[in-house]
Amino acid sequence: MAQTKYIFVTGGVSSSLGKGIIAASLAKLLQARGYRTTIQKLDPYINVDPGTLNPYEHGECFVTEDGAETDLDLGHYERFLNVNTSQANNVTTGKIYQSVIEKERRGEFLGKTVQVVPHITNEIKERIQILGKSGDYDIVLTEIGGTVGDIESLPYIEAVRQLKWDLGEHNSLVIHLTLIPYLSAAKELKTKPTQHSVKTLMESGINADILVCRTEHELSDEIRRKLAQFCNVKQEAVIQSIDASTIYDVPNLMLEEGLDTITLKKLNLPDDTPPDLTQWNQFLQRHKNPTAEVTIGLIGKYVELQDSYKSILESFIHAGAENEVKVTIKSIHSEFLDVDHQNSVINSLDGILVAPGFGERGIEGKIEAVRYARENKLPFFGICLGMQMAVIEYARNVLNLKDANSTEMDESTIDPVIDIMENQKNITQMGGTMRLGAWDCELKEGSLIEKVYGKTQISERHRHRYEYNYAYQEQLEAAGLISSGVNPQTKLVEVVELKDHPWFIGVQYHPEYKSTVATPHPLFIDFIRAAKVFSQKRK
């Protein structure tokens, strides 16, 4: 079996330069040449996983098929590569230390003093190689979070230095992503921050093999020469990454710059098959040339930060391209949505999506939005908490259970239409009560949701704690809120829809986690189709 090759992507100068997008774009190009490729993310924070992080801190938490709560970059990896990631694709410092401490408690280190080198670094090296040793991949890309020089990332950089030595020549390379700032006063691009960043990496014993330079202006040959000379890389290995109108342009930009060619050359791999990006470019073509436009209201409580709903926003891009529609998203903060305000805001929309979330802030605004969509036949899509809001709204305004609520918002509600199920009640640890990862769902024949999927058996990813309380199912069904999707093992309701409404669906799971460029999610595709119909009728 051929040796798995490893590519490490580090960042310097500033965070948020787009290491995830560069890693995903390079992986896409290598995959399009026929190499079996995957990407993992090493996060230097001490949380065990991002599951308990506020979305304002770190953007959304992405959930994999096997139920790992991971960094949002894994979402980019899946959307670009159309390959599922897993528990092994996201490693945090919290996980590393937890594992090492557990081994020490079990006596596995035979009384040795446990230290950062070699114990922590060995653990990191092991985690990096799990995917490579599975035999499923020719190339593993590893993105290291944070920036070079951070105290937190030092053990990771040291582990990479050792691993490069262990793996031998041509089996690994380091791509360093930096910023070339433009000083408007001097009207010039500055290379000094990059030089410093590369030197910091060298002080840790690592030479960058390829430099990817984020910039707002084209890099001249002179600047490339200067960077090559001062940073110890070949000139052809100085790659420009200029601001793009969409992240989906980046693979083509990296192809033009020859990032994949220089990578294969340095890894001593054949470069005789040009990348096949036919399907990718067809998607881009549709995305950039829409024939219609719809405006969707995204109603949530973290709307100030784009990254909080990253997967949902990307799913709209995929579904928009599929329908040849430009989807304009209007972010609406549910906390400030009351009856008067909402009619002026919502009546200009072609559909609303009530977003997932935790806690009671902004709940009444979401319920009002659901009521408006139900009464005015506006296409409505509720995800997770959004679905629960639809159940509460229906119970309150149609069944007249005026105090209906979720026990998450009001523990003493007399009508807990949303509740924690009995078998979850005795779990005390935050991460433990969640229903996570892929679960099966059976769809009712003849329902709208069955028509959307075109089948009755589906599997979708979950991330929630509270459930539709089946004690109320009979009453709600009799009043017209259909339970059209049920989990076959637990009998928990997963999907609700309305009979006499053009498009009203609430799902307990997170369809946005499974939408990719190659396979846009059917629910998003159909929701945008319904919004397009609504928009045309209104005009």
Q: CA 478, CA 399: separation in Å to the nearest integer?
A: 10
56 appears as a binding residue in the annotation:
yes
Q: CA 346, CA 83: separation in Å to the nearest integer?
A: 37
Tokens at 256, concatenated? 């033009």
481 appears as a binding residue in the annotation:
no
386 appears as a binding residue in the annotation:
yes
Name the residue with tokens 């995800």. Answer: 383
Closest CA to 391 of 494, 303, 490, 301: 494
DSSP type of residue 80? H
Q: What is the DSSP string of 486-513?
A: E-TTT--EEEEEETTSSSEEEESS-GGG
Catalytic entry in 58, 60, 512, 521:
512
Per-residue H/E/C for 168-183: CCCCEEEEEEEECCEE
Provide the pairing of β-strand 467-468 with 457-464. unpaired
335 appears as a binding residue in the annotation:
no
Q: Is 231 a catalytic residue?
A: no
Catalytic entry in 384, 393, 450, 494:
384
- DSSP lists the bridge partners of residue 485 as 443, 495
Closest CA to 248 of 526, 516, 529, 527: 516
Cβ proximity of 276 and 29 under 8 Å = no
19 appears as a binding residue in the annotation:
yes
Q: Helices in 291-349 by DSSP H: which ranges?
A: 310-323, 339-346
Cβ proximity of 64 and 89 under 8 Å = yes
Q: Which segments of 233-312 are extended strands (E)?
A: 238-242, 292-300
Closest CA to 147 of 156, 136, 135: 156
Closest CA to 23 of 87, 92, 89: 89
SS3 of residue 339 by DSSP: helix
509 appears as a binding residue in the annotation:
no
164 appears as a binding residue in the annotation:
no
Cβ proximity of 423 and 405 under 8 Å = no
497 appears as a binding residue in the annotation:
no
- DSSP lists the bridge partners of residue 150 as none
Q: Is 512 a catalytic residue?
A: yes
194 appears as a binding residue in the annotation:
yes
263 appears as a binding residue in the annotation:
no
95 appears as a binding residue in the annotation:
no
152 appears as a binding residue in the annotation:
yes
410 appears as a binding residue in the annotation:
no
73 appears as a binding residue in the annotation:
yes
191 appears as a binding residue in the annotation:
yes
75 appears as a binding residue in the annotation:
no
Sequence-distant (6+) residues with CB within 8 A of 28 are: 80, 81, 251, 277, 280
Closest CA to 326 of 51, 528, 504, 136: 528
DSSP type of residue 3? P
Q: Nearest 5 degrees, angle CA 125-CA 126-CA 131? A: 105
102 appears as a binding residue in the annotation:
no
Q: Nearest 5 degrees, angle CA 445-CA 449-CA 453? A: 90
Q: How many residues does the chain have?
A: 539
Phi, psi values for residue 142, rounded to 5°? -120, 115
Q: Is 462 a catalytic residue?
A: no
Query: What residue type is 472 in one-letter code?
Result: Y
Catalytic entry in 76, 176, 464, 510:
510
143 appears as a binding residue in the annotation:
yes
272 appears as a binding residue in the annotation:
no
190 appears as a binding residue in the annotation:
yes
- Give the active site residues: 384, 510, 512
Q: Enumerate the known binding-site residues for L-glutamine.
A: 56, 357, 385-388, 408, 465
Q: Enumerate the known binding-site residues for UTP.
A: 15, 190-195, 226
Q: Enumerate the known binding-site residues for Mg(2+).
A: 73, 143
Q: Enumerate the known binding-site residues for ATP.
A: 16-21, 73, 244
Q: Enumerate the known binding-site residues.
A: 15-21, 56, 73, 143, 150-152, 190-195, 226, 244, 357, 385-388, 408, 465
Q: Enumerate the known binding-site residues for CTP.
A: 15, 150-152, 190-195, 226
